[in-house]
Amino acid sequence: MRVKILLALLVLALSLAFVTPVSAAPPVCGTPTWHRVVRGETLFSIGRLYGVSPWAIASANGLANPNCIYAGQCLWIPAGGSCYPQPQPGGCGSYYIVRHGDTLFRIAHRYGVSAWSIARANSLYNMNVIWAGQRLYIPCY
């Protein structure tokens, strides 16, 4: 009995040694890849991470309902634009690191610009989804 258990654990350990993680970090910009969904991600956040439209991801994976993805699911990410939007400041504007409790509207009010202009400058699809540590470009007012 012990031999069978040890053999099963050995096979499991060897199989895990040869498994490559699907996507620990975004790939080189513009290259198609696989992405393993983690808890809390949406097609919008994944699309923003890779610079790809969430609808393109849904289409590439045959998702009838783009709101129904789950943790652990592997999604094919088609080639897209730049992975991170790099606005050209042109002499004015700045970057802001989002802190816990911030909202796009509070940040916009603090800098005297509209929340829409910040969302547009950072390719944000959902103005209610920002997270602590995120780097946002604040355009000139």
Q: Which domain holds residue 116?
A: 94-138
**Total count of domains within the chain:** 2
Average pLDDT, the chain: 77
pLDDT of residue 84: 45
pLDDT at 61: 86
- Tell me: the pLDDT tens digits for 62-111? 888 878 898 889 888 887 654 444 444 444 678 888 888 899 999 998 88
Residue 66 placed within a domain: yes
Q: How far apart are CA 131 and CA 141, in angstroms?
A: 23
Confidence at residue 29, expressed as pLDDT on a 0 to 100 scale: 55
Together in a domain, 79 and 98: no
Q: Enter the pTM of the model.
A: 0.41
Beta bridge partners of 76: 34
Quote the CA–CA distance of 111 and 71 in Å, as a whole number: 36
The answer to whether residue 134 is domain-embedded is: yes
With residue 13 as reference, give the H or E element that holds it.
helix 2-17
* Mean pLDDT of all residues in 123-134: 86
Q: Identify the CATH number of the domain in which residue 107 sits.
A: 3.10.350.10
Q: Are residues 74 and 101 in the same domain?
A: no
Residue where one domain finishes, among candidates 41, 57, 83: 83
- Please tell me which of 28-32, 43-47, 61-65, 103-107 the model is most confident about, judged by mean pLDDT: 103-107
Residue 15 domain-assigned (yes or no): no
Q: How far apart are CA 136 and CA 124, in angstroms?
A: 10
pLDDT interval class at 55 (50, 70, 90): confident
Is residue 20 included in any domain, yes or no? no
Whether residues 32 and 76 fall in one domain? yes
The answer as to whether 104 is a domain residue is: yes
